[in-house]
Amino acid sequence: MAGKKTTKATEVKTVAQLKEELAAKRNDLLTARRGHAAGELANPRVLTSTKKEIARLLTAIRAAETSEKESK
């Protein structure tokens, strides 16, 4: 099978933990953008991967928040 490989989450995180991780990733992205603008960034693919990680975190936060609302 030549499709994408999906992985299951091994650790269940709370919304607060996800938001902390999101803040850290956004800070990492800001630092990487500054480094790229200054010509110091060795691997510009870091920008793309960090943006994708931020999107994944936002999706996970949204899913967790909607599941909390539905369970109430």
Express each pLDDT in 6-51 by its tens digit: 656 567 888 999 999 999 999 999 999 999 999 998 999 999 999 9
Question: Residue 36 corresponds to which tokens in the numbers above?
Answer: 């790229």
Spatial CA neighbour of 24 closest among 45, 54, 49, 47:
54
The rounded distance, in Å, linking the Cα atoms of 54 and 8 is: 18
- Tens digit of pLDDT for each residue in 45-62? 999 999 999 999 999 999
CB 29 within 8 A of CB 47: yes
Distance (Å, rounded) from C-alpha 54 to C-alpha 32?
14
pLDDT band at 72 (very low <50, low <70, confident <90, very high): confident
**Domain 15-71 CATH assignment equals 1.10.3470:** no
d(CA 65, CA 70): 9
Domain ranges of the chain: 15-71
| pTM score of the predicted model | 0.80
